[in-house]
């Protein structure tokens, strides 16, 4: 399954690694691609194994997107990759150009991950201290496992070993703090933060753009779009939901004046750059005597009118709603489709739509 191109890179670009969440088989990579696409970053996927994705791209541009992905746990720049045995790793480190990553004044750590039960004869702990010794000897830098200036990541994946410098890691506790029960107002229909963030990113919205959630509920998706720097408009048919969403955004210090009571079948705004939403299914959230299918059938033509050229609509619905047919019958092209098992009686279908 591992595919890698070992040829030399173009001068302007570097090789990066992303460690994605293993929570879903297709959403994390789709989210990463959508973020790269949204920021017009030319990239090439040069390797992938389980949660590891290797990308060649422009160094400065990739910094722009650090921390945006709900399902991106870590990113960094690759220093080297070799075969997964001690002699190749030693040779790789000795011949690597380490100066650009580590100097004698730096402190550093090396932590190794193993994906998919590979390279069993290499102990992670042994490899960490072996690499620590090699890097210290070659650069004069000192090991500091508690608060290193330069945290290195080793990854055993497939038949290769990768060594990289971590440039971004999801801050500890950041997801926990945004969990539905930690917000000012809880509602069972709300979306967990990683999935909500992923839906926002699948819409390819950029910071500063107008983002719409036409069924905003207590604001699970609106919070994530707002944290990404979007101008958020959230609409819900129930005043109490709008009030709760306002409280939830305020809880995170986010602007809440874009949250309004309204009907998604008759939207109170003229344009939006991107839309991501989770309409009511009639279980956790009320469909107000309608059905998910009928609500979507009335909402999609509205979405078509207000969406900026090239804009995307992302929505979830219970599998079996007939979302693909519905989207196509309203003149949308289905760019992407994912299934997400929630529990015995609910599997969500997530669609990414755009202009035909």
Residues that bind ligand SAM (CB under 6 A): 189-191, 196, 214-221, 235-238, 241, 263-265, 278-280, 285-288, 295
Q: How far is the CB of 235 from ligand SAM (least distance, A)?
A: 6
Q: How far is the CB of 243 from ligand SAM (least distance, A)?
A: 11
Q: Give whichever of 89 and 285 is closer to ligand SAM, judged by the CB atom.
A: 285
Q: Give whichever of 47 and 180 is closer to ligand SAM, judged by the CB atom.
A: 180
- Going by C-beta distance under 8 Å and a sequence separation of 6 or more, which residues neighbour residue 310? 354, 355
CA pair distance 13, 29, nearest whole angstrom? 21
Q: Give whichever of 77 and 263 is closer to ligand SAM, judged by the CB atom.
A: 263
Largest CA distance in the chain: 71
CA pair distance 300, 279, nearest whole angstrom? 11
Q: How far is the CB of 284 from ligand SAM (least distance, A)?
A: 6
Q: How far is the CB of 187 from ligand SAM (least distance, A)?
A: 6
Helix axes 239-251, 220-227, angle to 10 degrees: 40
Q: How far is the CB of 230 from ligand SAM (least distance, A)?
A: 15
The CB-nearest residue to ligand SAM is 220
Q: Give whichever of 113 and 185 is closer to ligand SAM, judged by the CB atom.
A: 185
Q: Give whichever of 108 and 315 is closer to ligand SAM, judged by the CB atom.
A: 315
Give how far Cα 286 sits from Cα of 246, 252, 291, Å. Answer: 19, 26, 9
Give how far Cα 341 sits from Cα of 175, 278, 349, Å. Answer: 21, 15, 9
Task: For residue 274, give the nearest of 214, 212, 333 by alpha carbon.
Answer: 212
Q: Give whichever of 12 and 291 is closer to ligand SAM, judged by the CB atom.
A: 291
DSSP 103-166: -TT-EEEEEEEEETT--TTS-HHHHHHHHHHHHHHHH--EE-SSS-SEEEEEEEETTEEEEEEE
Structure tokens given for 112? 């190794």
Residue position matching structure tokens 């963030």 = 197
CA pair distance 119, 158, nearest whole angstrom? 8
Q: Give whichever of 59 and 240 is closer to ligand SAM, judged by the CB atom.
A: 240
Give how far Cα 56 sits from Cα of 45, 68, 159, 237, Å. Answer: 6, 18, 20, 45
Q: How far is the CB of 73 from ligand SAM (least distance, A)?
A: 22
Q: What sign for the dihedral angle of Cα 123, 124, 130, 135? A: positive
Q: Give whichever of 133 and 320 is closer to ligand SAM, judged by the CB atom.
A: 320
């Amino acid at each position: 399954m591992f595919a890698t191109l070992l040829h030399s890179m173009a001068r302007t670009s570097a090789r990066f690694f992303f460690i994605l969440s293993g929570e879903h088989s297709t959403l994390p990579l789709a989210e990463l691609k959508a973020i790269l696409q949204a920021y017009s970053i030319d990239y090439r996927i040069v390797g992938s194994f389980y949660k590891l994705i290797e990308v060649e791209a422009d160094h400065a541009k990739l910094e722009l997107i650090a921390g945006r992905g709900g399902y991106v746990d870590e990113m960094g720049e690759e220093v080297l990759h070799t075969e997964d045995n001690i002699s190749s790793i030693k040779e790789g480190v000795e011949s690597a150009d380490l100066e650009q990553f580590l100097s004698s004044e730096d402190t550093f750590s090396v932590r190794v991950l193993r994906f998919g039960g590979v390279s069993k004869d290499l102990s992670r702990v042994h490899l960490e201290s072996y690499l620590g010794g090699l890097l210290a000897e070659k650069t004069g830098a000192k090991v500091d496992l508690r608060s290193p200036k330069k945290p290195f990541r080793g990854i055993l994946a497939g038949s290769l070993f990768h060594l990289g410098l971590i440039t971004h890691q999801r801050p500890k506790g950041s997801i926990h703090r945004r969990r539905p029960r930690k917000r000012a107002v809880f509602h069972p229909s709300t979306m967990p933060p990683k999935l909500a963030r992923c839906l926002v990113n699948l819409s390819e919205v950029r910071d500063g753009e107008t983002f719409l959630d036409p069924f905003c509920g207590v604001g699970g998706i609106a919070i994530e779009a707002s944290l990404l720097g979007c101008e958020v408009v959230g609409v819900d048919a129930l005043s109490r939901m709008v009030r709760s969403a306002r409280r939830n955004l305020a809880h995170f210090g986010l602007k809440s004046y874009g949250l309004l009571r309204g009907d998604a079948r008759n939207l109170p705004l003229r344009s939006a750059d991107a839309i991501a939403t989770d309409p009511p299914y009639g279980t956790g959230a009320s469909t107000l005597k309608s059905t998910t299918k009928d609500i979507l059938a009335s909402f999609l033509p509205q979405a078509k009118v207000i969406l900026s050229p090239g804009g995307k609509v992302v929505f979830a619905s219970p599998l079996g709603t007939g979302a693909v047919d519905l989207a196509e019958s309203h003149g949308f092209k289905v760019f992407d489709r994912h299934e997400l098992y929630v529990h015995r009686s609910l599997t969500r279908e997530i669609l990414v739509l755009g202009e035909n």
